[in-house]
Amino acid sequence: MIAMGRIGVFLFLFAGYVLYSSVVYTKGTENNLQLSNAELTKIDNGKKIFQQYNCVACHQLYGLGGYLGPELTTAYSDKKRGEQYMRIFLKAGGMRMPNFHFTDGEVNDIISYLKYVDSSAITYKMQ
């Protein structure tokens, strides 16, 4: 009798998990952005630079990553930070952020990537 109850609870929880996952991974990831090939290339280059310099070791995207630097998911649309703020730090570094000597093109690509991340963070911004 107890085993049947545990099986029932397991099946109920498993069904809830499957339903929740299907909603999160379909509706939660819808993206209606229309981007040109040039924009997609810049975003992809920015992502590669972000990964190459292991930015996630210090910064978070969508709550995942390091805690030394600020969370960057919505940094582009943040009224206190925004594009100019990010551009300055990417060009010169800061007290805790090293100066990586990025070129203007690399800075533009990283900002394009962070702008894309920001635009896809609709549910993240609602929290």
Per-residue pLDDT at 124: 57
Can you name the CATH fold of 35-125? Cytochrome Bc1 Complex; Chain D, domain 2 (1.10.760)
Tell me which of 85 and 31 has the higher pLDDT.
85
Out of 15-29, 57-71, 92-106, 108-122, pick the least confident.
15-29
Instruction: Tell me what the pLDDT averaged over the chain comes to.
Output: 88
Per-residue pLDDT at 127: 52
Identify the DSSP state of 71: B
Pairwise CA distance, residues 40 & 46, whole Å: 10
For 76-95, what is the mean pLDDT? Answer: 92
Model pTM above 0.85: no
Pairwise CA distance, residues 74 & 124, whole Å: 8
Query: Which DSSP helix (H) or strand (E) runs through 5?
Result: helix 2-24
Q: List all residues 6 or more positions away from 54 whose beta carbon is below 8 Å from its beta carbon.
A: none
Half-sphere exposure of residue 52, counting CA atoms within 13 Å on the CB side? 10
Helix then strand count (H, E) for the chain reads: 5, 2
Q: List all residues 6 or more positions away from 119 whose beta carbon is below 8 Å from its beta carbon.
A: 33, 76
